[in-house]
Amino acid sequence: MEREDIEEKYKWDLSKIYHDPQDFYKDIDTCQSLLDQLATFEGKLSENIETFIDFLTKKDDLSKLINKAYCFAHLHCDVEPKNQDYQKMMATALSLLQQASVTLVYVDNEICKNDVKIKEFLKDNRLASYRYTVNNLLAYKPHLLDEQQEMLIAKVDNISDISEQVFDSLRLEFEDVEVNGQKKTLNQATLTEFLKNKDVNVRKDAYHKFFKEYKKFENTYATTLAGVMKKDAFYSDVRHFDSPLEASVFNDDVPSSLFFKILDKANNEYRYLFHRYNQLKKELLKIDDFYNYDLNIPLVKNVSQKLTIEQCFEIIEKALAPFGQDYLNIIHQAKEERWIDYYPTTGKRQGAYSSGSYLTQPYILMNFIGDYNSMSTLIHELGHSVHTYLSNHNQEFINSHYRIFVAEVASTVNETLLINYMMEHAKTSEEKRYYIYEQLENCVGLIFRQPMFADFEHRLHTMAQNNEPMSSKIITDLYAKLSQEYFGDAVKMDELVGWSCYYVPHFYYDYYVYKYTLGMTVALAIVKRILQGDQKQIEQYLNFLKSGGKESPVDLLTHAGVNPLDDAIYDDAFHYFEDLLNEFEKLSK
Ligand SMILES: [Zn+2]
């Protein structure tokens, strides 16, 4: 489909950001002048409080404008990549961002060096909204090095990413898989389809042809994986952190005990529920030799129907009704003011996102095809957009940005409310079973699978920190062992399971995966309480959406009524899974 064939109301309206493209360049000029002024503050930040306030205000003004300009350029480029005017704007915005980061490189160091004076300034109420951010920065002081060492580290930066770059650039080719006498292409995108096939030979063949290629290059993959772990261990060491984990959680402002709590709950205390689910799968599928490549066979036929955008909004509004009219008004606004670009068109970016800035609306890009998944993606992105909208309208700029850590809560709560609505309003028990099955699979991916990944990643990081050898044999043996424990006794491991770790890009993202689990766990706990009609929970949750990033993720969530260090939220989340499993079992027998 071409862009001009799509009705206006189904395309986003970016003219509200800049009506005239010339206004974009006017903002760029203003940014340039602000940046020149900001450069003159070097060496003067702690002179007196007025100078410090003046600096912070100008820096915020600059960030707001750059973000607005960048937002305009990147949204346009994502839907019309061939338009050279937008490409030029994008290049202009990016080069300004780069220039700003070079010009302002002195700031963090200067603030940390003058910490005593700055802490004195922070007592003044004019700086109240800056306290969280600046204190965070000051806490980094023990990890800053002297000027020469910092310079050396900066020079190492661009060689330290090479393992990851090599991993990204490796392109494997796979042999075709034969289905009903026809040869079909096997790759990352088609693997799952083969694994859903009813014929065991197809599943086994696809699995083998896929992972034997990883095995062929195992020494390369072992080197890139060990390389990224050694890189994290290096930075943690030179910056005086106790471990790579401590370095990573420092950036997120959460305690490492949170990481271990999530792993303990998922991998020890509640793992029996996942084993029970696998046992049930084996029974329902009636397969005696049940292998890990058999786990994707659908247990229920897809019953979802084609939906229009209007039908999706009707359902979404009903699913989100517990939040009250104010929340729904923002959803209306998103639709009426055209924040959303719905349909896939030639050249448009794949996937979906919510993206905006402090001075713009939070826009949504998606590739809507009218199935249940599309509706679920829409409500997910709307969750992000409402969160951003409420943060921007209730917080000053400096505190409006929220971290990845809490971001997925808003979207996952919405997705979960939707699927619960679909279960509740299913017309047949088969339809209900379908949605329960979908949600069980969802939960498995996020609350069981990711903590197993996190455990594996943590062990590799620890090996790197202790300078232990990390050959492919050691890595794949470890992964095979963890996989067997993870899937449980009902599932047999294929001989290639150990090499399947080389396929996962997330191991290169420095302790990222457990954040998915946290987002889902918190969301499930919130939904469980909302569905029980807990009005206080709804109120606390809406306040959380308005809080942006004004405090640490743990504080934000605690004020939302779901302290992530508290056992109760994990118990709520895993019991939610257990309830679903019980119901699914009942409907299946
Ligand atoms: Zn999301």
Which tens digits make up the pLDDT trace of 218-251?
999 999 999 999 999 999 999 999 999 999 999 8
**Ligand 1 geometric centre to CA of 459 (Å):** 28
**Ligand 1 geometric centre to CA of 522 (Å):** 14
pLDDT band at 557 (very low <50, low <70, confident <90, very high): very high
**Ligand 1 geometric centre to CA of 355 (Å):** 11
Least confident of 155-159, 353-357, 508-512: 155-159
**Ligand 1 geometric centre to CA of 9 (Å):** 24
What is the per-residue pLDDT for 346? 92
Q: What is the 3-state secondary structure (H, E, C) of 340-367?
A: EECCCCCCCCCCCEEECCCCCCCEEECC
What is the per-residue pLDDT for 102? 86
pLDDT band at 478 (very low <50, low <70, confident <90, very high): very high
Widest Cα–Cα separation across the chain: 79
Three-state SS for 576? helix
- Degrees to nearest 5, angle at CA 480 with 478 and 481: 65
DSSP code per residue over 215-246 = HHTHHHHHHHHHHHHHHHHHHHHHTT-SSHHH
**Ligand 1 geometric centre to CA of 329 (Å):** 21
Q: Which residues make up the CATH 1.20.140.70 domain(s) of the chain?
A: 3-159
**Ligand 1 geometric centre to CA of 404 (Å):** 9
**Ligand 1 geometric centre to CA of 568 (Å):** 24
pLDDT band at 150 (very low <50, low <70, confident <90, very high): confident
pLDDT in tens, 512-547: 999 999 999 999 999 989 988 899 999 999 999 999
Average pLDDT, the chain: 95
Cβ pair 299, 285 in contact under 8 A: yes
- Select which of 381, 415, 438, 457 is catalytic: 381
pLDDT in tens, 313-348: 999 999 999 999 999 999 999 999 999 999 999 999
**Ligand 1 geometric centre to CA of 150 (Å):** 35
Q: Pseudo-torsion of CA 310, 315, 318, 319, nearest 10°? A: -130
**Ligand 1 geometric centre to CA of 554 (Å):** 19
| 252 vs 328, more confident | 328
Q: Pseudo-torsion of CA 242, 248, 252, 255, nearest 10°? A: -40
What is the per-residue pLDDT for 147? 78
Residues with CB under 5 A from ligand 1 (ion): 411
**Ligand 1 geometric centre to CA of 33 (Å):** 36
In this prediction the pTM is 0.92
pLDDT band at 404 (very low <50, low <70, confident <90, very high): confident
* Tokens encoding 513: 């995966």
From residue 564, how far is each of 53, 231, 475, 539, 558 by CA, in Å? 35, 29, 31, 18, 7
- Is the pLDDT score of 11 beyond 80? yes
**Ligand 1 geometric centre to CA of 414 (Å):** 11
**Ligand 1 geometric centre to CA of 408 (Å):** 5
Distance CA 563, CA 556 (A): 9
**Ligand 1 geometric centre to CA of 517 (Å):** 13
- Is the pLDDT score of 304 beyond 80? no
pLDDT in tens, 185-194: 999 889 999 9
Q: Which residues make up the CATH 1.10.287 domain(s) of the chain?
A: 174-216
Per CATH, which fold does 174-216 belong to? Helix Hairpins (1.10.287)
Residue appearing with tokens 């009426």: 336
What is the per-residue pLDDT for 105? 84
- Is the pLDDT score of 549 beyond 80? yes
**Ligand 1 geometric centre to CA of 338 (Å):** 20
Q: What is the 3-state secondary structure (H, E, C) of 172-193?
A: CCCCCEEECCEEECCCCCCHHH
**Ligand 1 geometric centre to CA of 362 (Å):** 13
Least confident of 70-74, 149-153, 277-281: 149-153
- Degrees to nearest 5, angle at CA 563 with 487 and 412: 60
**Ligand 1 geometric centre to CA of 39 (Å):** 36
Span 286-312, average pLDDT: 94
- Is the pLDDT score of 296 beyond 90? yes
**Which residues touch 470 (CB under 8 Å, ≥6 apart)?**
222, 225, 226, 229, 460, 463, 464
Residue appearing with tokens 């689910």: 277
pLDDT in tens, 160-218: 989 999 998 898 999 999 999 999 999 988 999 999 999 999 999 999 999 999 999 99
**Ligand 1 geometric centre to CA of 354 (Å):** 8
- Is the pLDDT score of 151 beyond 90? no
Active site residue 408: no
**Does the 3-159 domain belong in CATH 3.40.50.720?**
no
Span 471-489, average pLDDT: 98
pLDDT above 70 covers a percentage of the chain that reads 100
